[in-house]
Structures are given as C-alpha cells and as structure tokens.
Structure 1
Amino acid sequence: MTAADRPDWATIPNLVTLVRFALLLPVCLRLADGPDTPGVVLLLVWASTDWIDGLLARALDQASRTGAIIDPIADRLGLAAIVLTLAIADLLPWAALALIVLVDVAMTALATGAALGGRISVSWLGKVRTFVLMTAVFLLVAAAAWTPSLVPAAQALVWIGAGLHTVSGLDYIVRARRAPDAAPAEAGPPSRR
C-alpha cells in the first residue's frame, strides 16, 4: 500500500502515540504508590514515545493530520495525569498542578480551533516548554526514587517548566486570536511537535 492509498491515521508514528495513551494508566498507577525504579523506567518509556513518534514521522515521511492532532492531546493529557498523580503522592505542589491544568484548559478553549484549522503551528517556545516540563517531571520522579535529597531541586525545575508552560500557552492564545480565519499554518505540513 502506498502512502497515497493509506488512510491518514494508519501510520507507524500514530501507533506509537497510541502506545503512549495505553501506557498512561500503568505509569500513573505505578507512581501513585511512590516512585521506585520500575516507575522511573516506565515513565521514561512513556516519555520516550513522544520523541520516537516525531522521529518516525520525519524519518518515514509519515507526518499526518491525525498525528498532528493526537500527539499534542497525548502530551497534554499525559502530563496532566502524571502531575496529578505526583501531587497526590505529595511530590508536586498542588499550585503547580493547578497552573499547568489552567493553562492547558485556556489553550484548549482559546487556541484549539486555530490549531486544528492550520492557522497556527507549534512554536519553538512550545517545543522547549514540553522538553523542560517533561524532563523536570522525570527528574522529580527519579530523585524521589533514588536520591530524595534532590527532590527540592527537581521541584524547582518543575516550577521553571510551569513558567515556560504559561508563557508558551499565552503565546499560542495570542497567535490564535490574531490568526486570520483563512491563513495557512506557519510551518507548512503537519508537525508532530
């Protein structure tokens, strides 16, 4: 089957994104009991699927509209569920969780239409924000499991990530509000990140 004959959703990168969705519940359940080595490894596997799906989309020339939609949903839903789990486990301040979720809700309400309509694309700041926030969450879990004395430093990095998340979210909202209804996406073909 050639790429032209394949349905938009039937790609290897989209399968990897679906694996990220499937891993979310096991990751949260494992972390809810307190981070340990299997929890750190499972979180690393979950987070690596975000990098792998984008890499495969580019390497296999399988970027798709479906992937451009479900990849950020997997990121936002996954990150919200994991930070909620860490807040319940008393590793993350509830205020950080509230800030992350509030920004996500605002972006969903105010920028999703422009993103789905191709009028805005993922920004460089958005990519940095995602990397910093996911790295900070991973380091927080790793510190709690292996070196509890480093938990405060990892929590500080989560706050930096939450700050970047806020700035990036505001940027998306402003760009979405300014984007003309018929303007093409800034970056051309669908992006997985």
Structure 2
Amino acid sequence: MSRARGERPDWATLPNAVTLVRFVLLLPICVMLVRHGPQTLSVVLLLVWALTDWVDGMLARALGQTSRTGQIIDPIADRLGLVGIVLSLALAGLLPWSALVFIFVVDLVVTILSSRSALQGSLGVSRIGKVRTALLMTSVFLLACAGAWAPSLVPGVLVLLWIGVALHVVAGAGYVVSARARRGGVEEAAGGPAWRR
C-alpha cells in the first residue's frame, strides 16, 4: 500500500540517524583501541559512541519518533558495538578473554533463539537489559580510560565489568524467555499445536 503524501518513512527519524552514527563510529574506535592509536581521541570517540545510545532513546521519546526500524537496529548497534569494543580491548590486553566469551556466547544464544521476535520489533529492551548496557558501556569506557592514563585502576574497573557480564547473562536469559512466550502466545492464538508452545 502506498504511503500518504508527506508521511515520512518509518526509518527516516532523527533517533535512527543517531543510531547510524553509532555504527559509523565503531570501526575507527576499534582500530584505535587495538593499535594503541591516539589515546585521547579513542576515549573521546568511545564516550560519544556510548552517549548516542542514551541520546537516540531520549530523542525518540521526546519527539515521538519511535519506529519499528529503530526497535530493530538499536539492539543490533548495542550488541555489535559491545562485542566489537570488548574484542578490541581484549586484543589490546586490557580485558580478559573469558569476559568476551561470556558476552559472545550469550549474544549467540539470544540471536538464535529470539531473532524472529527481534526482527519483528516485538522484543523490547528489558529494564535489566538497560542497566546491563549502561554498566557494560560505563565499564568499557572506564577501562579504556584506565588503560590510557591510570593502569593501576584496571583491576577495579574489571570488577565493574564482571558485574555487567553477569547482568548480560541474566538479561539474555530474559530475552529468550520473553521471545518464547511471545511465540507461544502467537501459536496459541493461531491454534498451533500445544507441543510447540
């Protein structure tokens, strides 16, 4: 069905543009972290990247520009960014590989078991997920700062990071349970077989 004249496309919103900035910033940040590039610039870009996650959500609510496209690409930007930056910090020797394994395995399981709900835009970000994302982003940013200017603080920041990893596991389990519950509800409404619920 054609769109009414003057009606903007679902994807054409300011919050989605901010989310795209998050995608664009990811590659240069990761390259600078791995290659120990300009430390101040890498930390500043990392801070901008982390803040865009808060800015796009704030703009979506303030401007009434929530969209299905945003519901799909925002979690992808979060997951891709966290994995990429954590991988870069591990390659730079600032972060234990075990933390990366936990994050990667949880994301893989969530992607496999709840991808349909995520692509339909019906899998919203949970409260634990928001806390987890904020904690991981904060700890990753502080880890980059400590690695650049105060290496003695790295062990303390790693404690904060592991709390974020633990919440990542809890949030991931919650997304899988929510996706399965939604799928079960859809099948029940459609008269699907009980054994699949």
Give me the TM-score of the superposition, normalised by structure 1: 0.88
Aligned partner letter, 1:16: V
Q: Tell me which residue corresponds to 2:170.
A: 167
Of 75, 88, 93, which residue of structure 2 is paired with 1:90? Answer: 93
After superposition, give the CA deviation of every residue in 1:80-117 in whole Å (9 maximum; x if it has no partner).
00001001001111110011011001111111212333
Find the aligned partners of 2:117 and 2:68 in 1 and give their Cα distance: 14
Greater fraction helix: 2
Find the aligned partners of 1:3 and 1:121 in 2 and give their Cα distance: 30
Q: Tell me which residue corresponds to 1:148.
A: 151
Q: Tell me which residue corresponds to 1:186.
A: none
- Structure with more contact order per residue of length (Cα contacts < 8 Å, sep ≥ 6): 1
Q: Which runs of 5+ in 2 are unaligned?
A: 188-197
Of 59, 64, 69, which residue of structure 1 is paired with 2:67? Answer: 64
Of 114, 129, 132, which residue of structure 2 is paired with 1:129? Answer: 132
Whether the 8 Å CA contact 1:43–1:138 is kept in 2: the answer is yes
Greater Rg over alpha carbons, structure: 2
Whether the 8 Å CA contact 2:71–2:124 is kept in 1: the answer is no
Q: Tell me which residue corresponds to 1:111.
A: 114
SS at match of 2:94: coil
After superposition, give the CA deviation of every residue in 1:136-164 in whole Å (9 maximum; x if it has no partner).
11111111111111001111111111111
Whether the 8 Å CA contact 1:119–1:182 is kept in 2: the answer is no
Q: Tell me which residue corresponds to 1:5.
A: 7
Q: Tell me which residue corresponds to 2:43.
A: 40
Whether the 8 Å CA contact 1:140–1:154 is kept in 2: the answer is yes
Q: Which range moved further: 52-61 or 33-42?
A: 33-42
Aligned partner letter, 2:11: W
Whether the 8 Å CA contact 1:119–1:181 is kept in 2: the answer is no
Give me the TM-score of the superposition, normalised by structure 2: 0.87
Find the aligned partners of 2:117 and 2:153 in 1 and give their Cα distance: 40
Q: Tell me which residue corresponds to 1:191.
A: none
SS at match of 1:151: helix
Find the aligned partners of 1:4 and 1:110 in 2 and give their Cα distance: 38
Tell me whether 1:14 sits opposite 2:6 in the alignment.
no
Q: Tell me which residue corresponds to 2:194.
A: none
Find the aligned partners of 1:77 and 1:3 in 2 and give their Cα distance: 35
Q: Name segments (4+ residues, structure 1) moved above 2 Å.
A: 114-121, 178-183
Q: Which runs of 5+ in 1 are unaligned?
A: 184-193
Find the aligned partners of 2:63 and 2:5 in 1 and give their Cα distance: 10
After superposition, give the CA deviation of every residue in 1:38-83 in whole Å (9 maximum; x if it has no partner).
1111100111111111111111111000001001101100110000
Q: Tell me which residue corresponds to 2:186.
A: 182
Count of paired positions? 182
Find the aligned partners of 2:122 and 2:15 in 1 and give their Cα distance: 23
Aligned partner letter, 1:149: S
